[in-house]
Amino acid sequence: MDRRIGIIGTGSMGSMLIRSFIRGGAAVPRQISAANRTPEARIAIAAETGIQEAANNRALAANADIIILCVRQPDVVPVMQEITEQLTSNKLLISVASDVPVSELEAHTPARVVRVIPSVTSEQLKGVSLIVFSEDTAPADREKVLSLFGAIGTPVVITESEMEAYTTLTSCAPAFFAAMVREFAAAATRMTGIPSNEAEHLARETFIGTGALLEVPHTSSADLISRVATPGGITEVGVHVISRDFPAVCDELFTATARKHASFRNGPSEE
């Protein structure tokens, strides 16, 4: 099916989606067009990938079947207002802004709307894209979105009320996991004297290998722990430390991200 995909915003997320859609086989370059308020960014991604350049947001929206808004949360409504004449009921609008609910998107357009929160891991065609469909989306719309984001990872359909918690667990998590690797390596340097660059390298390579083991079908985290942490052994002692102390850190992480989501919903006074 020859679908025309227009991406507004070619910052890190927009550019990542363009590369991943092409790499994952979701679309070929001629099917993708991009617009950006900074011409240099638009020109650069077009030169890199062979996609089409749109002169402006209105031109892009007029010629695309699927319009993906890859702009910051404060810019979502202004961009929708800019292209309001092009956002007709036969268009499918996808927003990747973290705290703009489907209801707000629907209030500004007759287009069918979908909310998607991808992960940076989609750059490697891995990870999860969270999807919330509006009630107006047709089965064909759902098929298109699931096909598009299924080519760059695992699409998971959720409800609007689940979005905040699921975002912490998926799209935010690569930064959390990377921070854990960094702190694990830093502890090795503090406690044992291993040079920091070597500790970082060892921890990173082991983390990558652990992820590959967890990709094996029917392998759970508990399975992997039991394989490595033999009863009464050295690893088991460390697992006990994590089981005892780490849950409080994770609880605070979810509490802190929930507070931040609330601040975005309710305004600066919540900060």
What residues are designated binding site? Answer: 8-13, 57
Q: Are strands 128-133 and 112-117 parallel, antiparallel or unpaired?
A: antiparallel
Binding residues for NADPH: 57
Q: Are strands 32-35 and 52-53 parallel, antiparallel or unpaired?
A: parallel
| 154: amino acid identity, one letter | T
**Half-sphere exposure of 238 toward its Cβ, with a 13 Å CA cutoff?**
9
Non-local CB neighbours of 166 within 8 Å, separated by 6+ positions:
117, 130, 156, 158
CA distance 26 to 85: 28
CA distance 155 to 146: 6
Binding residues for NADP(+): 8-13
CA distance 33 to 9: 11
